[in-house]
């Protein structure tokens, strides 16, 4: 998990073959503005597939407003 004082965000990687989110990685959003696409092994399809970046969807990347 990335540290709180960094510019890096946690992103999930989704396979184009099976549609499952298998891998997670961090990326610097200031230097890399386009979506990541990495060729990695898909254990469900049992072959190498192209993985595309999505949000992690657990609410850890967004800053929540304080209740006051």
Q: Which domains does the chain have, with CATH numbers?
A: 8-55 (2.20.28.120)
Return per-residue pLDDT of the chain as tens, 68 residues: 556 777 888 888 999 998 888 899 999 988 988 999 999 999 999 999 999 998 765 555 455 566 76
Cβ–Cβ under 8 Å, residues 63 and 43: no
Q: Which residue has the tokens 């209740």?
A: 67
Residues 65/59, Cβ–Cβ less than 8 Å: no
Model confidence, pTM: 0.71
**DSSP H or E stretch at residue 27:** strand 21-28
Angstrom distance (rounded) from CA 23 to CA 63: 23
């Amino acid at each position: 998990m990335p540290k709180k004082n960094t510019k890096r965000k946690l992103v999930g990687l989704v396979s184009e073959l099976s549609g499952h989110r298998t891998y997670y990685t961090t990326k610097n959003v200031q230097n890399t503005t386009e979506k990541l696409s990495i060729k990695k092994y898909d254990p469900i399809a049992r072959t190498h597939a192209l993985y595309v970046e999505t949000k992690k969807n657990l609410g850890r990347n967004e800053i929540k407003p304080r209740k006051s």
